[in-house]
Amino acid sequence: MRSYSADLFVRLALAAAASFLGNPAGCLVAQEATPKANQEAKKENSKEDSKIEWKKLLPASGLEGWESTNFGGEGEVSIKEGVLTLMPGGPLTGITKLGKDFPTENFEMQWSAQRIEGSDFFVGITFPVGKEHCSLIVGGWGGGLVGISSINGNDASENETASFRNFKNGQWYKFKVRVDAKNITVWIDDEQILEVARAERKFSVRAEVMRSRPLGYCAYQSTIAVKDWGYRSIESPK
């Protein structure tokens, strides 16, 4: 099985091609034109969701409610003053949530993360999608890949959600994931970067992160920090 960092030159070539074809950010955003009626429905749902309180996922210190993920070769994990720090592993380091109190449908998550050192993914967040699971990968394939892994058996580099961006070490980025009955939607720094329909798609995770289910966070050979990680349940889309 290929690693997330294999075939880097192929991936960079795809990013360059995307830019050449008129997308200056090199982003292949997986979304379709939304009818006006659906846009209005989303606005109404957003108004209702804004009234729902966010719940913190990380404790102030220690690992209460979490455990260091047993990947084999994992680095040190710590939470201090509400900030999760993952040290480089060989290759993965992460944490997995204990218990079964996290929703599987109609929820949002948001958090901020930075890659302190390293050159691979600093967001490897695994989450439920109904009875299935998938992972959002940010910064993979040598530092720039963004995508959902996996869709119909194709990982983040091989499906319609793949895009490439530049991420600077030492800089905080804000993320948000929304799972509703129709779509998985992802934002980076308040910009929607992908929306993929759930209909007629099967979601799964790569074998390397099976231990991150049902909710987990990991990084690939990098030192990273995560803060302000929270979630809330949302109204089912109309």
Q: Is 2 a member of any domain? A: no
Locate the DSSP E strands across 98-209.
107-117, 123-129, 132-140, 145-149, 163-164, 173-179, 183-188, 191-197
What pLDDT band is residue 236 in, cutting at 50, 70 and 90? confident
pLDDT band of 40, cuts 50, 70, 90? low
pLDDT of residue 37: 53
In a domain, 3, yes or no: no
Q: pLDDT digit string (tens) for 94-150?
A: 999 999 999 999 999 999 999 999 999 999 999 999 999 999 999 998 899 999 999
What is the domain extent for residue 205?
8-233
For tokens 């895009």, the residue is 163
Interval 184-207: pLDDT, tens: 999 999 999 999 999 999 999 999
Residue 238 placed within a domain: no
pLDDT at 168 over 60: yes
**165 lies in some domain:** yes
pLDDT tens for 77-101 read: 999 999 999 999 999 999 999 999 9
What's the whole-model pTM score? 0.81
CATH number of the domain enclosing 158: 2.60.120.560
Cβ-contact 146, 164 below 8 angstroms: yes
Which whole number is the average pLDDT over 46-54? Answer: 72
Tell me which residue has tokens 């006006």: 36
Q: Nearest Cα to 145, choosing from 169, 119, 170?
A: 119
What's the number of domains the chain is made of?
1
pLDDT at 182 exceeding the cut of 60: yes
List the end-to-end C-alpha distance of the chain, in Å, as a whole number: 41
